[in-house]
Amino acid sequence: MSNRRTGFALIIISAIIGIITVSLDSLPGEAIMPLLVVCGVSFASGIVLVNYKAKHSKRDKGGFKRTNTKSWGV
């Protein structure tokens, strides 16, 4: 699975679990905050994975050119 797909899956799952946590009245008060913290951390890591740049992959490194090269011998 790619980083983007993993990120989208984390975002969707954490949003669903967060909505369920907030909407259930039968959960004890001590269980709500830890669940919301876990959902928030997974949501943030999902956003990081979705925005992970392609230049970090080994396959795509050949497509990026250096911008500060100077041609001295021409």
Q: Where are the domains of the chain?
A: 3-53
Span 45-70, pLDDT tens digits: 999 988 876 555 555 555 556 666 66
* Residue 11, phi then psi, degrees to nearest 5: -65, -45
* Secondary structure class of 43 (helix, strand, coil): helix
* Termini Cα distance of the chain: 46
What pLDDT score was predicted for residue 55?
54
36 sits in which H/E element: helix 29-50
Span 7-51, pLDDT tens digits: 999 999 999 999 998 898 888 888 889 999 999 999 999 999 888
CB 55 within 8 A of CB 61: yes
What is the spatial distance between Cα 64 and Cα 55, in angstroms, rounded to a whole number? 8
What pLDDT score was predicted for residue 2?
82
CB 21 within 8 A of CB 35: yes
